[in-house]
Structure 1
Amino acid sequence: MFATELPFEPAAASIPVERRGHGRLTVEALGQDGRTLRGQVEEAGFARVRFPRSGRRGAALEAVLINTGGGLTGGDSSQTIIRAASSAQLVVTTQAAEKVYRSDGALTRIAVDLVSEANASLGWMPQATIVFDGARVERSITADVAPDARLLLVEPVILGRTARGERFSYGQLHDSWRIRRGGRLVYADGLQLDGDISGLLDRRASAGGWAAFATLLLVAPDAESRLEAVRAALGLPDALADHLDAGVSAWDGMLSVRLLARDGAPLEVAIRRAIAALGVAEVPRIWHS
């Protein structure tokens, strides 16, 4: 993808609108007689989904999302709508890490809308989003969770191609999460990176120069009971792995894990440990490929 090597020139002619990529995907899972079946599926643009039999684990259905465009760049948009209907058990992941390339000035827009209905279990567990230097990303994640349902969100982000020594020094990253349970807003989170991004990330109180982070959020009636198990799995408070920082808290039927790592390798190890300790889902099988 040679376009990523071009200089950043916002004033230059941008990519024509007709060459932008737009993907829209709707996936529905239905609970029936103790099993989860595929319901309505709609695909548009570069967005595709597959349901590999190798991903089947017990009653849960695993959906693997595919971006046939190979990544996102300025002006592209992606909308994903996932619904776990009553009593369904669904895990959603991605075929590979999502790459957001350098922009010519236009925003890359990503929207994820999740619904977990009565007695359902929905796991949103994509592989990492890699934000290239110069990318401009605006992402929103919204979810509606029934009072007796479960929702697990796992969202890793890597700033820059760390294996190449790249840093996310300029561009924009705006991330917004809004989670509702029984129609009531119970969780709101936001991240805004722009301006002097390198200086901000180098501050000890923000990222200390590290480039990879993740948020895991479990919304479930029994979420708080898993607090100590997750803390122990991550080595909190005094036995954290090298190149990793973490915090875990639980309140009001939710459990939140914050992870910060030097790069993607220690981050993935910590995510796997946290998922195992939560005990509500397994790491998607495609993560092993």
Structure 2
Amino acid sequence: MRRDRRSLLTGAGFAGVSLLGATAIGSAAATADGGERRVAGTVSHFGEPVEEATVSLEGNEDTTGEDGRFELRTDAGEALLEVEADGYRSWSSRIALGEDETVTVDVTLDRTWSDETGELQVYATEVGGGSTIPCHVTVYGDEEYYADAPNGAIPDYDNWQRGFRVSEGWWEVRVTDVAGYDDGYQEVYVEAGESELAWVELEEGDRTIPSTGRVAGRVVDQRDEAVSGATLRIGGEPISVAPDGAFEADLEHGRHPLVAEADGYRPRRGTVTVRFGRETELVVVLENDVK
């Protein structure tokens, strides 16, 4: 599944994370006839649509396309909505539906990796192909691996006899340190026992993809108002919170534990996922500490 590197790594839409839950559920006016209920929405990961996800609603199924959208119908007043996709954790939720109602459900999936392994090969060339170009390669999944590729390929059967041995799942490939070319990006799914090639096509230029990602957001109460005197720690490090509740920090790629606290509120603990070259928007909601 190809993605445009420039929009993927610079777009502002790869966000929408909240520690109160990553799934938005709402209602809309129905167009169904005869008391039929309908559930419609999207399946995404980090703001990107998830294609070929299987969405089921009490025995009825739909498969998402490139836009990640689905739509299902049922006669039941309450139904179990389930979502599955290769390389992602399964998701489910029970949905209440009124007569002649359409409920909108936008589902965010988290990636997962299996204990089985496959091989990830990497080639770096100019756009359209040609000779491979010397570079540095970093791959990101459930682990992070990196290597110099003096011949522009892993394996090259000179310095490297095989590709990266990685867990089955989605892997992101970042190619850097190529004089005269932008940094490159590719994303591939590696199946257990199989070899998958990440062909990274490099454009002329000097743009870089940073190894870190940014977390930006606000600490608010249940009325969406800034929490005075809130403190925030991500990955054990204190993060400055402005009087209006705003904060931002550059962090290493990966999952980081988060703790937010304030007098008169219950502490909020969770995790935040940071991806290199992108920004995660995070709303941390604190609840009143009722004693």
TM-score (norm 1): 0.24
Looking at CA atoms only, which structure, 1 or 2, has the larger radius of gyration?
A: 2
Q: What TM-score does the superposition give when structure 2 sets the normalisation length?
A: 0.24
With CA pairs under 8 Å and 6+ residues apart, which has the higher RCO, 1 or 2? 2
